[in-house]
Structure 1
Amino acid sequence: MSKVLLNVMTDNHHKRRRFLTSNADDDDIISNFPEDLINPILERLPVKDAVRTSVLSKRWRYRWTTMRKLDLIHGFSGQFLKIGAFSCHGFTRVISQIMIHHQGPILTFLLHIPKEIVLDSFQEVDQWMLILSRNNVRKITIVNLNLIYQIPYSVFSCLELTALGLNKCIFKPPLAFKGFPNLQVIILTNVNFGVNLGGTVINLPQLKGLILYGCGNVNNFNIKAEKLQNLCVTGCPDANAMVLQLLHSEHLNSVHICRLSRSIKDFSQVKRFSFTIDGYFLKV
């Protein structure tokens, strides 16, 4: 079975054509794959190879358009490093075509935006986020190495999110935003929380893990997370107010804090606590 799939996925045009000729009818082994196996197979393939499965048979022609996971991180962006972002085969154009042709829910979306690709704006990325907000997305990861990207308001309407990972972004929700009711894990690196949100509290009732690294204006990130269990804040010197508030969570059992602007004393409930001040590491 794996050998058949491997031969089909190869770039050799003649081998693929011979395979298709000998398996033209719908009774071949590929066409008769069980429904509950097709999506797991597609989701384990790079997106490029998943799209190529459209040549396997009539039944597989559009199956890639129903993939619940779009992994545009591992190896995907590297294919476009030598191509302009807006050329006919460019990075944003290809992803836009994938998003436009996709049907059904996208539960997981992973995106890597390399610094080598020239972006005049993030207009296309905003469109992808809008599509995600309409497709029941549960997990979003944006590894942005390009210009800083301001998260559009459409992301804050993704109320089914359970995991959110951002790098080099501006996290500024609309004033009417109340929170993510299902979000369990947040990992933010080099994220700026912008100007004060006027005291607006962001409710995260299911949040269990929060990791912040190198973030700015963190004191504007006013969150309520009563079920928080694990907290890690590194290189965020203005995060004192937020950390002090979160330390009162009765479920908190692991905390790692590094390089805050002042010491924190109220951690009597925390089972495991590590704290770094000016290069000195303490563990309680």
Structure 2
Amino acid sequence: MEKQVNLDRISNLPWDVLDSILVHMPLKEAVRTSVLSSKWRYKWTGLSQFIIDDKCFTNTILDKVARWKEIMKIIHLVQLNHGGPLEKFTLAAYCHPDHADLDQWIYFLAQKGIKELILQEFDSVKRFKLPSCLFSCSQLKRLELSDCSIKLSCEFRGFNNLAILQLTQVYIDSDTLESLILKCPVLERLTLSLLDNQAAFKIHNPNLKYLKIDSDFLDICLENSPSLDVVDIRLRHDKHQPRRFDLGQPCNVARVLSCLPGVKRLTLCCEFLQFLANRNIPERHRSLLDHLSVLDLREVRFRHLKEVMTALCILRSAPNLEELFVSVYDQTSDFSRPVIDFLRAQYMLDLYLSHLRVVKIRGVSGVESPEWEFIKFILAHSPVLETVTTVRYRGERVPQSLFQQVISVLFAVTVLL
């Protein structure tokens, strides 16, 4: 009887097939394939993608410097044995990198035609200065950076293929940021978080579809960004340092909304509502947000009249709104009479949210509060409303009896109208 020969079919697969298998494994598991045989010893070092995160370390390695030393062992082996393209690298491990080592590694990636580079969640005493070689990577499609400083080289001509850009805790001046965004002609997603040294955000990009800003700034300009589909803006600053939003602009809410003609989902937070509420809020406003279907207003200070007026101005600008989400900023002030009187005066307003189906408001207080007057206003002007969810502060659901009281008052108001 003829002996059956055991064939190692996996080892003989083409490298592109093996690569597509190994890159879907955690790097720690891919490295373990080196013990299979001498043929597999360095196969993992030739991968086209490397993701170094917390899963690569045992629970005993907690020291940030020790973690970086382990990462450098991986990097050195890759540098010695990697023969093909290296398309994606992610460093998302809580470590303390040596800047010289990181600089050399980025130079290596640039030579390998990197397409996706993600550097995040590492700790550094001072910002890592991004090497100029990165700006020659014309094939980059995704770039996510944190804890670094960026200065464009004179030779920088742009990232012609970059579709995703995310900057977190990055030092970059306003002019450099504006230039960087302009020189990414196919950019679709832009996220800017906790940036240093930003006096103003100037976002100009005709293909940009998604914009998220969570940072400190004095002004924002979104001109020439007609493709914006999703916008999420949160303005952060030191609450112990009062600031004024008065840069000579006639009205921020009118100026900013006019730059968002195609936005479909809009998320705005407390401090940015304050920014929009400068000068006089127009009582009536033409429809500027005709395509807006989802509006999310977070941490609204209902005791501040101008911010409530701003919220209503946004609603008046969005005739096709379908879903409205509001969270109430927790505050102890009882000075709410002007806001309540203003909202009650709006019942006669010729405004109907004819497409609004879903409303959810979190953090409401008692019936005699601005939040409840706002709810009654919404109910009175939303003829096709299907679902209203109200949650009291600290997550308590509003009692049914309390909600019925609001419905009764609303019915009486509707009869008068």
Mapping of residues 23-172 of structure 1, within 5 Å: 27-33=7-13, 35-57=15-37, 59-76=39-56, 80-82=61-63, 84-85=65-66, 90-115=70-95, 117=96, 119=97, 121-147=98-124, 148-172=127-151
Cα offset, 1:221, TM superposition: 7.5
Partner residue of 1:17? none
Cα gap change, 1:228 to 1:198, in 2 (>3 Å): closer
CA contact (8 A) 1:168 1:189 kept: yes
For residue 97 of structure 1, report the CA deviation from its aligned partner: 2.8
* Structure 1 residues 119-176: Cα deviation after superposition (integer angstroms, max 9, x where no partner): 5x41000011000101111100001431122211121111111011112221222133
Deviation at 1:266, TM superposition (A): 3.3
| Secondary structure of residue in 2 paired with 1:156 | helix
TM-score (norm 1): 0.75
Q: Which has the higher contact order (CA 8 A, sep 6+)?
A: 1
**Residue ranges of structure 2 left out of the alignment (5+ in a row):** 237-243, 246-251, 272-298, 302-310, 319-417
Q: Which has the larger radius of gyration?
A: 2
Matches of 1:95 and 1:197, distance apart in 2: 31
Aligned partners of 2:67, 2:174: CA distance in 1, in Å?
A: 32
Q: Aligned with 1:266: secondary structure?
A: helix
- Is 1:249 the counterpart of 2:228? The answer is no
Letter in 2 for 1:230: Y
Whole-angstrom CA distance in 2 between matches of 1:83 and 1:225: 39
Greater shift in the superposed pair: 34-43 or 181-190: 34-43
**In 1: Cα distance, 2:41 partner to 2:122 partner:** 34
Secondary structure, in 3 states, of the residue corresponding to 1:210? strand
Contact 1:96 1:124 in 2 (8 A): no
Structure 2 counterpart SS, 1:161:
coil
In 1: Cα distance, 2:196 partner to 2:167 partner: 11
Is the Cα–Cα contact under 8 Å of residues 46 and 81 in structure 2 kept in the other structure? no
Alpha-carbon contact 2:86-2:113 (below 8 Å) kept: yes
Higher helix fraction: Structure 1 or Structure 2?
2
1:252 deviation in Å? 1.6
**Structure 1 residues 218 and 162 mapped into 2: Cα distance closer, same or farther (>3 Å)?**
farther
- Give the direction of change, closer, same or farther, for the CA distance of 1:72–1:252 in structure 2 (3 Å limit): same
Cα distance 1:200–1:37, how it changes in 2: closer, same or farther (>3 A)? closer
Change (3 A) 1:180 1:26: farther
User: How high is the sequence identity, in percent, across the aligned residues?
Assistant: 27
State whether residues 77 and 112 of structure 1, in contact with CA within 8 Å, keep that contact through their aligned partners in structure 2: no
- For 1:232, the aligned partner's letter is K
Quote the residue 1:190 is aligned against: 169
* Structure 1 unmatched runs, 5+: 1-24
Secondary structure of the corresponding residue to residue 40 of structure 2: coil
Normalising by structure 2, report the TM-score. Answer: 0.53
**Which of 182, 187, 191 lines up with 1:207 in the alignment?**
187
How many pairs are equivalent? 252
Is residue 2:239 matched to residue 1:271? Answer: no
